[in-house]
Structure 1
Amino acid sequence: MFTMRALVEARELRLVVLVPGPPGALDADVDWVHNTELSDPSPYVGPGELVMTNGLWSQGTPAVDFVANLVRARAAGVVFGLRDSVRRTPPDLVDACRAADLPLLELAVEVPFTALSHAAAAAYARRRQGTLEASVRRADALTDVISGGGGTAGALRVIRRELDLPLAVVDRAGRALAQVGVRLAEHERTTVAVALTRRPPPLEVPIGSERGATLFPIGGFGAPAAALVCFRPPAHLGEFEQGALQQAAHFLSLEIARRRAEQAIENRFAGELVDMILSGMGAPHELTHRLEAFGVDARAPLAVCALARRGTDGDQQDLADAAAEAFASDGVPAVLAPGSRDIVGILVWRTPETELGAWFDRFAARLEEAGSGPVILGFSSVAAGSSQLRTSLVEARQACRILMRQPSGPRVASFAELPSYAALLGRLDAPTLRRMADGLLGPLREQDAARNTHLEPTLRVFLDQDAQFAATAEILFVHVNTLRKRLARIRDLTGRDPLLTEGRVDLFLALQADMMTGP
């Protein structure tokens, strides 16, 4: 592309501006030049093209009609070429262009249209060459900053220096990975995250102080991992700006793919560390080496937490990323291992243990404010070193599991704060808990499946109501005698009498064991 001003400033063309058009028209991009003598060239003139004419159409067409046809075709302007018989541009054409606010240039008799076409081609080539050179320089700068560890924020700074636009990168979880020249509010990040779930994602979203922002998807096919957000609507971005932002989005795709690969390696390494702690099979020096690889001093006091979302689905990696960012911002060395049900965190804790609960409560609140949804977190007492981590890990996970099963209640709790039955069951491994649950609940489930007797639901309600017959019967919509018959059948099938304290204790523990090992 080129501009009419560039043609006017080329002295050899001897162009004179008769009508400048609206403000900025001479500096607007022109797609190409088109020579015509048709009275209505609108079917052949493309938007943004500069029309060259000698005015031969004027013998049968008024100038106002000719100009109206060009306006309808959205032409960039008109160049009237003087000839021996016409030594000045017709006044009616000047008046028509002025009335339509359409730029009008006058070309001297001695300069042919071919010279203007060659100048346009040369200007176009220079513009394309300049765009290509800028793209190469930009690619070199982006390569340098990303390969040098500058990451997403470094890439945005490269583009910001060139375009001076407010930019941000937002991922599918609604987290701002980097921002320059702008600070996104939570609802703006959420708007971008929702847009990224659509297929294909929209090019424009209604955020920012102007009419909207432009999205440039990053990574993935149909389901991008993030978006480069420019706080200008697409209509306000030129071709050069859009090309630069699209190029940046491609480079950011590589950066995010690299980060994902690194995360996968770190997650596997962290997962092996957790398995090593739980199995007790790793040598002490190997456990120390792995902890120190994550910057965690194995000889320091260590706390263990397990966190998850309460009642919502979501990408565990997004929650792990938010947790890692929160740990890093507080300068707390930690290793995070995302699992299928929770995320285990092992961190150095050098302050008094009495402050651990309040700190984790603030930590969970920060994750929720960052867009991670309702978070629950179970934690253990502080271990004196890596040799005590197995007990701490089991305690933290069991605390998290129990909190996860509760529809309401505290979002953060230590294992020591849980009821005594939870502490006892928490020290048993999963196979033992499963056998305990199946041994008593299995016969009830078989009977319910075969005869639709509702024995297990009856037992759960009866225990929840502290063995109160009237309250249980009312909730189940059955007669008290029906309830007594069901409880007797439960006694016969399990060998535990729900009317006796010891029987209720065994049945209650079986239900809790089932909860701890259930899906």
Structure 2
Amino acid sequence: MVDPAPARPDDRWLAEVAAGASRDAGDVPVELLGDYLPLLADAAITGRRPKRAELDAVETLGRRAAEQGFSAGRVVQLYLSAARRLWQDLPTVVRSRDREAVRAAAAAVLSVIDDAVATLAEGYAVARRDLVRREETLRRELVDDLLRGDSDLGALVDRAEPFGLDLARAHQVALAAAGRRLPDTDAAISALETVIFDRLGDRDVLVATKDGLLVVLAPADAARAPHGRDATPELGRLMHDQLRRLPRGRPWRVAVGRPHPGLYGIARSYEEAREALTMATRLRLDTPVVTARELLIYRVLLRDQPAIVELVHAVLSPLGQARGGAEPLLATLQAYFDTGAVATETAKRIHVSVRAVTYRLQRIKALTGYDPADPAHRFTLQAAVLGARALDWPHKPLSGSA
């Protein structure tokens, strides 16, 4: 132990050390040092180790630093810089010519630094975990209320502000559904936040989970498509490109609602995205990214569901009499319309011969009385096919969908 010095360093000198350390750490408040400098001075002069209560106070300071939003690196830098400055200017040690005394003082100071910084970091980490859990809860509750669209506007504006959301802007909602078990949600949210903030350059974005889906709420003007194209799919493609790199969850499907202004526009975009996800599954679309705009025709059809049920039943139900049921003929019709009524392209798409396509088209004409090659009949057949896919017929009975 170093022999006690006749006098302790005065408070003014320690205040100068603290001020210098604060500048070194980017103006982190000196208040976050607490009694750390006196602990170091006591260790250098008397060899005293800090008491448990004094280390508990340092842990509290670590928590306070996290709550005030300072980075862990800057807070640790404050403590290390304070120790360096104190050691360089410590009057007792500087005047001492006793090598053993200096060595003992250095060992005591290093021990205090080690204990204090470790305790500081522990307090900081605990506070950060608490803040993250609190933020996740607040974010999840905010997302639920925004997507429901029936909450108090004034209260939502206040709650959205800490997350950087400007509810006066037009927003759109995108949903991502995992093909298999949803992977670690924290990793998925972090991956989406990183790429969206980096690519879109807009902090007015919220990423969360709801009902087993990943939810992204973004400003409508954040995703900019080149050459004046519709920007809505850009957000979906950005999300899918990132999610498919995750180790679990593939295949992913992403649905993007149309942009709408105001608070209630968020709920509307969310409902459109949910409907698009459901419809893409019913239609067995092979595209991983779908938009509500692309599937708008199905929403129109289903607004008068009894009428579309009647249309499908009247036009397509005779296909059930065919060998193999209605599904092969329905798939042929859909491919035929999708390829612009070109039999050769239809054959390629459904992996049969052109002769088989021609036979099926003739069979459809014979069973239904509608000729797919006749422009006058084509519109009725195509509307019926769209309705059948929207109703998931023939996999589900029409009576159950009415």
TM-score (norm 2): 0.48
The structure whose residues are more often helix, as a share, is 2
The structure whose residues are more often strand, as a share, is 1
TM-score (norm 1): 0.39
Which gives a bigger RCO, structure 1 or 2 (Cα 8 Å, sep 6+)?
2
